[in-house]
Amino acid sequence: MFAQEFMRNALVTGTFVGLACGLVGYFVVLRAQVFAGDALSHIAFTGALGAAVIGLDIRTGLFAATILGGVTLGALGERARADDVVIGSFFAWTLGLGVLFLSIFTTKSSAGNGTAGVRVLFGSIFGLSTTDVRVSVVLALVACALLLAIARPLLFASLDTAVAAAQGVPVRALGVGFLAIVGLVAAQATQAVGALLLLGLLAAPAGAAHRLTTSPFRGLLLSAALAVGSVWAGLTLSYAFPTLPPSSMIVAAAVGAYLLAEVLTSGLGRSGAAGRTG
Amino acid sequence: MLNGLDSLLFGTFLGITSRQVTVLLVVATAAVLLVVVAARPLFFSSVDAEVARAGGVPVGLLGFAFLLVLGLSVAETSQITGALLVFALLVTPAATAHQLTSRPGLGIALSVGIALAVTWLGLALAYFSLYPVGFYVTSLSFAVYVVVRLIRVARRRTTAFVAEPA
C-alpha cells in the first residue's frame, strides 16, 4: 500500500488535513459553530467552481472563498457568533451561485471536464500531485500554528464571552480570526473529503472528544488523534476495497468514532452512579 | 445544462411528468392540511412548550408530527431546488416573514407569498435563460431577505436617532 505514490500522497496530505481539522473542529464544537463549518463547506464549492469559470486555479478560488467567507460570517453574526438564519440563508445563496458557475463551466468546456463539480463536492484525495501534497502540508501546519497561538484566549472567550471581554480579551477579533482559520482548514479538507463531507471530519472527531473528556488540552489532543485516525482508517479501507470511495470511508470512520464515544459515555454514565449529565 | 447527479443535488424543472405532478400535488396538499389542522396547538407549543404541556397540548406528539411534515416538505422542495438548495425555499422566506411581522397569521401568509413569488419568478427566469432554476430561486429568496433586513436596520437607526435627543 505504501509502494503506490498516490497512496503515499493521500496518506501524508490526509494526516495533516486530519490534524488541522481535529484541532480546529474542537473549537468549532466548543463554540457551537458547527453550522458555520457547514456554510463554509458550501462556500468552498462555489469558490472553487467560480475560479474554474474565470479560468483560475481551482485551489486559489477555494482558499480565497472560504477565508473570505469565514471573515464575513464572523463580521455578520452578532458578537462574531453568526446566527443560524443568517448563515443558512447566506449559504443557500452561495450554493445557488455555485450551481450557476457549475452550469457555466460545464457548458463552456464540454470537452471532458464535466466531473469538476463532483470532484469538488466529494473530494479527490487519490488524485493529488506532489505539489498538492507540499502545499497542503504547509497550509495545514500554518493553520495549526495560528490556532495554537490564539488557543488560550480563544478558549477563554469561547467558555465565558462576557468575562473574557471584561478582562480585555479582544473577543470579537478572536471570533473573526478563528472563523478565518476555519475557512483555511475547510479549503484543505475540501480537497481530501470534498465540500459535502468536510463537516464530518470537522465535527465528528471533535464531538467525540467533547464526549470523552472535559479537559481542553486532552480534548484537543484526542480530537486531532481521532481525526487523523479516521483519515488513516478511511484511506486503508478504500485502498483495500477499491469500490469504496475514500471520502465517504473517512467520514464513516469519523462518525463511527463519534457513535462509539456516545455509546461508551452513556454506558459509563449509567453504570457509574455518579450523576454525570450531558 | 446539468447532468444526472448534479440535477438531483441542484434541482431541475425539466422532465417532471404529469404523474409526478399529481403525486407532488397530493403530498403537498396533505402537508398543508396537516399544518392547518395542527396550526393552533403547534403554535402554542412552539412559543411556550411548558405552558402548552400544562394546558394539555400533546407537545411530544406534535413535535413528531411536525418533523414528519417537514420531511415531506423537504422531499417536495428538492424536486424544484435540488437536495442541496432546499434551505432557500424552506427557511429563507420564513426568516424574511419573521423580520417583517411578529403576528403569526400575517407571518405565515407572507412566508408563503414570498416562497411562491420566488419560485414562479425563478422558473420564469430559468425558462428564458441557460442557467439552472436552483440558482435563480436561491438568489431571489436571499435577495428578498437581505433587502428586508437592511430596511429594518436602517429604520431602527433612524428611530434611534429620533429617540436619542429626548
Residue B85 falls within a domain, yes or no? no
B95 at interface of A, judged by CB pairs closer than 8 A: yes
CATH fold for the domain made of A5-195: ABC transporter involved in vitamin B12 uptake, BtuC (1.10.3470)
List all residues 6 or more positions away from B80 whose beta carbon is below 8 Å from its beta carbon: B11, B13, B89, B119, B133, B134, B137
Q: What is the ipTM of this complex?
A: 0.73
Whole-angstrom Cα distance, residue B143 to residue A22? 35
B95 and B73 inside one domain: no
Output the pLDDT for position A7. 84
Q: A186 to chain B nearest CA, in Å?
A: 18
B66 and B105 inside one domain: no
Q: B75 to chain A nearest CA, in Å?
A: 17
Q: Classify residue A274 by its DSSP letter.
A: S
> In which band, very low, low, confident or very high, does the pLDDT at B6 lie, cut at 50, 70 and 90?
low
Which of A103, A104, A118 has its CB closest to that of B5?
A: A118
Mean pLDDT to the nearest integer, B90-105: 88
Which of B3, B5, B135 has its CB closest to that of A97?
A: B135
pLDDT tens sequence for chain A (278 residues): 777 888 888 888 889 989 999 999 999 998 888 878 877 888 888 888 888 888 888 788 888 888 988 888 777 765 445 466 777 787 788 888 888 888 888 776 654 455 667 777 777 788 778 888 888 899 899 999 999 999 888 988 888 888 888 888 888 888 888 989 998 888 888 877 887 788 888 889 999 998 898 888 899 999 999 999 999 998 898 888 888 888 888 888 989 999 999 888 887 655 544 444 44
C-alpha cell at A5: 505514490
A42: nearest CA partner in chain B: B84
Question: A58-76 vs A84-108: helix axis angle to the nearest 10?
Answer: 160
Residue with the larger pLDDT of the pair B162 and A18: A18
Domain termination residue (choose one: B56, B78, B100): B78
pLDDT exceeds cutoff 80 at B82: no
Residues A21-54 as b/e (b if ≥16 CB within 10 A, e otherwise) read bbbbbbbbbbbebbbbbbbbbbbbbbbbbbbbbe
Give me the domain span that covers residue B124.
91-166
B136: nearest CA partner in chain A: A96
B131 and B73 inside one domain: no
Output the pLDDT for position B116. 92
B14 at interface of A, judged by CB pairs closer than 8 A: no
Which residues in chain B have their CB less than 8 angstroms from residue A41's CB? none
Which residues in chain B have their CB less than 8 angstroms from residue A104's CB? 131
Answer whether B132 sits within 8 Å of A103, measured CB to CB: yes
B48 and B120 inside one domain: no
B67 and B97 inside one domain: no
B130 at interface of A, judged by CB pairs closer than 8 A: yes
Output the pLDDT for position A274. 43
B95 and B46 inside one domain: no
B100 and B160 inside one domain: yes
Lowest mean pLDDT among A68-72, A209-213, B12-16, B144-148: B12-16
Distance of CA A97 to the CA centre of its chain: 21
Which residues in chain A have their CB less than 8 angstroms from residue B137's CB? 96
Q: A119 to chain B nearest CA, in Å?
A: 12
B71 and B135 inside one domain: no
Q: A140 to chain B nearest CA, in Å?
A: 28
Q: B125 to chain A nearest CA, in Å?
A: 13
Q: How many residues does chain A have?
A: 278
B99 and B165 inside one domain: yes
Q: How many residues does chain B have?
A: 166
A121 at interface of B, judged by CB pairs closer than 8 A: yes
Output the pLDDT for position A276. 42
Q: Report the number of distinct structural domains present in chain B.
A: 2
Answer whether A100 sits within 8 Å of B130, measured CB to CB: no
B101 at interface of A, judged by CB pairs closer than 8 A: no
pLDDT exceeds cutoff 60 at B132: yes
Residue ranges covered by each domain of chain A: 5-195
User: What are the CA-CA distances from residue A237 to residues A1, A139, A160 (Å)?
Assistant: 11, 26, 41
Selection from A223, A152, A216, A129 nearest residue A185 by Cα: A223
Whole-angstrom Cα distance, residue B57 to residue A273? 35
B146 and B106 inside one domain: yes
Residues A84-98 as b/e (b if ≥16 CB within 10 A, e otherwise) read ebbbbbbbbbbbbbb
User: What are the CA-CA distances from residue A53 to residues A26, A104, A108, B72 (Å)?
Assistant: 35, 7, 8, 35
Residue ranges of E strands in chain A: none
Q: Tell me the three-class secondary structure of chain B, residue by residue.
A: CCCHHHHHHHCCCCCCCHHHHHHHHHHHHHHHHHHHHHHHHHHHHHHCHHHHHHCCCCHHHHHHHHHHHHHHHHHHHHHHHCHHHHHHHHCHHHHHHHHHCCCHHHHHHHHHHHHHHHHHHHHHHHHCCCCCHHHHHHHHHHHHHHHHHHHHHHHHHHHHHHHCCC
B153 at interface of A, judged by CB pairs closer than 8 A: no
Q: Is the dihedral of CA A15, A131, A145, A60 positive or negative?
A: negative
Q: B143 to chain A nearest CA, in Å?
A: 9
